[in-house]
Structure 1
Amino acid sequence: MSEPSRRPRKPAKPYRRPQKDPVRMLAFEALRAVDERDAYANLVLPPLLRKAREKEGPEKFDARDAALATELVYGTLRRQGTYDAVIAACVDRPLREVDPPVLDVLSLGAHQLLGTRIPTHAAVSASVELARVVLGDGRAKFVNAVLRKIAQDDLAGWTAKVAPPYDEDPEDHLAVVHSHPRWVVSALWDSLGGGRAGIEELLTADNERPEVTLVARPGRATTAELLREDAAVAGRWSPYAVRLAEGGEPGAVEA
């Protein structure tokens, strides 16, 4: 009796080492410091950027690297409340049961998908690679699955899904949509005497990315010197002001 034919097995894919992305690694390190030590991001980030600028080789930061790292850290923290609600809708367990480092990677990925112009495939791929480096291949698969769910809609679509209806709970709705603690929304609500338009304008403005502004101190520097920096533009209100349109680290500017 002849043996049944067997299909040849597909050769296993060779193991590929994860690619380390210095910018996202630095952003992850900053978020971990905020989460683990209750550190202030504005105190943690500048030394990390300074150290990255002083490195040699491919891990050395230029102005664009510093600007992206700054946006990833501050942008993720600024919209953390909203991103937590979105992530909670995409996982099969309460957020308190998700390991904090995993949640930080997911939050970074969510910000790239919902809060930046980074292409979807690049945001997911870079976040999964980061997860492979800092979490391991097993948990990277979980990150990949969650981020692919998040990528199915934009920020407006997600907030419409995860925020409670305004008519049922206006303060909680505003807290989720605008990523502010409910007690802050309540305090502003009381101060402004209610009314949706005024408080939404205020919360929206509070979420705007602040521009880095330099001052040319007379006798120390001139605006012409500061305008040589990458993406530097003249200030709007003062002849001594120069704005870094793409962000960056003021301490790295040569005085």
Structure 2
Amino acid sequence: MSGTDRRARHPRRGRAPGGQAVQPAREVAYRVLRAVEADDAYANLLLPAEIERAGLAPGDAALATELTYGTLRGRGMYDAIIALASGRAPDAIDAGVLDAIRLGAHQLLATRVASHAAVNEAVALARRASGQGAGGFANAVLRRISRDTPGQWRDAIVAAARSDDEALGSTTSHPVWVVRALRRALAAEGRASELDELLAADNASPAVTMIALPDLAEPGEPRTPFSPLGFRAPAGDPEPLVRASGGARRVQDEGSQLVALALARLEPSRMGERWLDLCAGPGGKTALLAAEARTVGARLEANEVVPARAGLVRRALETVPGTVDVHERDGRALARENAGAFDRILVDAPCTGLGALRRRPEARWRKRPDDVAELVTVQEELLDAAIDALAPGGVVAYVTCSPHLAETTGVVRTIAERWGEAIELLDAPAALQAVARQPLDLGARADLPVAQLWPHRHGTDAMFLALIRRR
């Protein structure tokens, strides 16, 4: 084997000034953490590319994945610990140094990585980010952190908190406003006592769930409990299974499968029906709807306003025979221009993403309470336009990957008041139960027939579903 080949298979360790090596998995994790913080990158998209670029062996790839997601999930707690250990507010610490210390803190407090390795390589990363003095600072902070147990640090965080919600938010790594929003959403079902379970579920590494597109592949084993198309991925990287099936088997959350099936199988479809996925990116639900439409002779169109995400939609549809027109328009304008044209419309609206924090942990740090009002305006406008685009008797599924009441029942109430007798709210819980393999424990809401899935209760993302018929 040539020297070039050896280097490709065994990447060199990164080196900080002074020659101190950084293990490749930690190097990859740190690069992803920096991109998430500095460039608003998405870890679930960037990490696989960085692992491939670094040529990591399976064991190192698994370590890089654990370090990346573990650090992102625990960021709130680690920042509280870093503040106590350093005497500085996290936002007063150089961002590159702070990410290195977060990475080290995660290894010290939540993994079996040897303390000396965690400290030494985090110090090397901090020194590379901001010089020799930064390395000394990181060394002092991490050695202070290493002297206490996770339980002792948790007690210290609680003692330093200004309120019970601040203590809960810090110890579970959720912003306080998110803790309160989740509590209110659970309380709407009379289940506020489940908050601790939900917060813990947000911080648990989720099982990889896959879908077998109908009439194109058969589900593998073990099957998922609820979706008739779902199954658990085998151990390791699921990508070889996806490639071997030509994309007919692919990764998709079980909750996403269920809400799309609830619309597609709500009632028998007529040949020639027109279906629309109004906010289609990145295309997982679109591919499922396309496969379902193909089996019943319906015609699906899709729309995605962001060109890069529209490209992902087209790629997701490559597996499904037939043609799906993918538009790149503002969904509100597209729907208004097609008044009365569609029989079924999916509005998978842009939202805070608070329902997918276990898979996209960085989302909890990116959104602010002020973002909700702006998103709600867009959600209402999209749903309003979608109803306008329905043919008489047509149905729209309003879906968000968020349980926040403003983005869910708040939007539905507003639209119901605006349209009055012209629309009918259908029984969304019954529609989900009809497609599920076994009964779903869905919380009852006295005033609205809507459905909310939960990570802690169903093992899915927290998908919300409302079904609205135009009379």
Cα distance between partner residues in 2 of 1:140 and 1:68:
23
Paired letter, 1:199? L
Alignment of 1:192 with 2:186, yes or no, is: yes
Q: Distance in 1 between matches of 2:67 and 2:78?
A: 13
Matching residue within 37, 61, 64 for 1:66: 61
Q: CA deviation at 1:220?
A: 7.7
Shift of 1:150: 0.6
Following the alignment from structure 1 to structure 2, what is the Cα–Cα distance between the partners of residues 171 and 74? 24
Q: Count residues with an aligned counterpart.
A: 220
Separation in 1 of the partners of 2:100 and 2:192? 34
Deviation at 1:165, TM superposition (A): 7.7
Question: TM-score, length-normalised on structure 1?
Answer: 0.74
Q: How does 1:223-238 map to 2 (within 5 A)?
A: 235=222, 237=224
Contact preservation (8 Å) 1:216, 1:241 = no
Higher mean displacement: 18-27 or 207-216: 207-216
- CA radius of gyration, larger in: 2
Q: 1:43 aligns with which of 42, 45, 54?
A: 45
Deviations 1:206-235 (A, max 9, x none): 111123355688988996xxxxxxxxxx64
Deviates further, 82-91 or 40-49:
40-49
8 Å contact from structure 1 (residues 21, 130) kept in 2: no
More strand by share: 2
**Residue equivalent to 1:3:** none
After superposition, the Cα gap between the structure-2 partners of 1:115 and 1:252, relative to the gap in structure 1 and judged at 3 Å, is: farther
| Residue 117 (structure 2) pairs with residue 117 (structure 1) | no
Contact 1:82–1:176, Cα closer than 8 Å, also in 2 = yes
Rounded to whole Å, the distance in 2 between the matches of 1:140 and 1:171 is: 34
> Do the aligned partners of residues 48 and 91 (structure 1) sit closer, same or farther apart at CA in structure 2, a change above 3 Å counting?
same
Is the 1:132–1:139 Cα contact (8 Å) retained in structure 2?
A: yes
Give the 3-state SS of the residue equivalent to 2:138 in structure 1: helix
Contact 2:81–2:145 under 8 Å retained in 1: yes
The whole-number CA distance in structure 2 between the counterparts of 1:176 and 1:240 is: 34
Q: 1:50-109 CA deviation, whole Å, 9 max, x = no partner?
A: 2122xxxxxxx1111111111111111111111100000011332222100000000000
1:111-138 Cα shifts (integer Å, max 9, x gaps): 1111212122222223223334444333
Q: In 2, Cα distance between the equivalents of 1:252 and 1:240?
A: 16
Cα contact 1:235–1:241 (8 A) shared by 2: yes
2:207 paired with 1:211 = yes
Identical columns (%): 42
**Do structure 1's residue 89 and structure 2's residue 84 form an aligned pair?**
yes
**Structure 1 counterpart of 2:167, which letter?**
H
What is the letter of the counterpart of residue 165 of structure 2? E
* Cα shift readout 1:133-155 (whole Å, capped 9, x = no counterpart): 44433311111110011111222
Task: Provide the C-alpha distance between the structure 2 equivalents of 1:92 and 1:66, rounded to a whole number of angstroms.
Answer: 34
Does the Cα contact within 8 Å between 1:215 and 1:240 map onto a contact in 2?
Answer: yes
1:136 and 2:127 correspond: no
Question: Runs of 5+ in structure 2 lacking a partner?
Answer: 1-16, 245-471
Match for residue 234 of structure 2?
A: 243
Which structure ranks higher in relative contact order (CA pairs < 8 Å, sequence separation ≥ 6)? Answer: 1
Question: Could you tell me whether the CA contact under 8 Å between 1:211 and 1:243 is conserved in 2?
Answer: no
